[in-house]
Amino acid sequence: MRSSLYGKDLLSLADLSSEQLTELLDTALRIKRDTKAGRVSAPLSGKSVAIIMQKASIRTRVSFEVATARLGAHPVVMTGQNGAFSRGEPVNDTARVLDGYVDCIVLRTYADSLIEELAHHARVPVVNALTDKFHPCQGLADLLTVRERFGSFAGLKLVYIGDGSNNMAHTYLQAGALVGMDVAIATPDDYRPDADILAAAHVIASGTGAHLTVTSDVYEAAEAADVIVTDTFTSMGQEDEHDLRLNIFKAYRVDDSLMERASARAIFMHCLPAHRGEEVTSEVIDGPQSVIYAQAENRVHAQQALLSLLLNERNE
């Protein structure tokens, strides 16, 4: 039976219902088990996926290429500023041309306006592989990691520490709201999440029971947390602000004293690349509570599930 996700775009996790997100995670878990057991199928044989990376990437590019190939489809990778949407061609023209070549477009870019315009014009599914506001594919992998570790999201509390205005903070608010998991964002007052995104997440959370909070008190936020997660203080494009941002966020570094506030069963996650000594200490990220490598591996399983549900008419 065809999934309700068939033919859809994924620009942020808010494009999913709670039921669709559960279906996606169930599919990812099944695909991961099958892959580990050597059970291979190619449900997307004969299809092609355009993977456009306007920002540098290791995990996103490799995981999407591998996910596409494992499904039997052909990945068409375009990287750098000259790979696509260059030479002044209107987005409409690029979208309609790619429509004739590929069955899905994956885009990692800067402003959300570009991927929104692309999705408006393209007739094939468009997937956000990172924009300034959202990183839904990383969110899927992180939810998969949490579910593997705890079995469900009921009663869990995820705490994100760092820049509350970045794409991962926004994605965790949407993720928690959809699965009914409490989420706390610990961030300086000047770096709170986008007000519209936070308000929309609260609307979703009202239907699932998730409790969403934003605070500048990092120790209060970490109290009894089941998941502590952070991200680099200086994202791509912010390199000139590196020293300034280190000073602003110095009280938000994840260290042993902060992890001691969390639950005894708490895990630490980071979407990588990490800067040891800046947003997290080596003792934490390389310690026994860290699951960063399992989290990174889950990118490929989650994206394989996503592409399968978007493109496979028979939901295999």
Kindly list the catalytic residues: 108, 135, 138, 231, 271, 299
How many whole angstroms separate alpha carbon 62 and alpha carbon 119? 23
Q: Can you give the length of the chain in residues?
A: 316
Residue 132 CB coordination number (10 Å): 17
- Which residue type, as a one-letter code, is found at position 251? A
How many whole angstroms separate alpha carbon 218 and alpha carbon 137? 26
Burial state string for 31-69 with b = 16 or more CB within 10 A and e = fewer than 16: bbeeeeeeeeeebbeebbbbbbbbbebebbbebbbbbbe
Residue 192 CB coordination number (10 Å): 17
Residue 243 CB coordination number (10 Å): 9
CB proximity list for 213: less than 8 A, separation 6 or greater: 182, 183, 184, 185, 221
What is the C-alpha radius of gyration for the chain, rounded to an integer number of angstroms?
A: 19
How many whole angstroms separate alpha carbon 313 and alpha carbon 52? 24
| Neighbouring-strand partners of residue 185 | 160, 214
Between the alpha carbon of residue 16 and those of residues 84, 103, 293, the distances in Å are 27, 20, 26
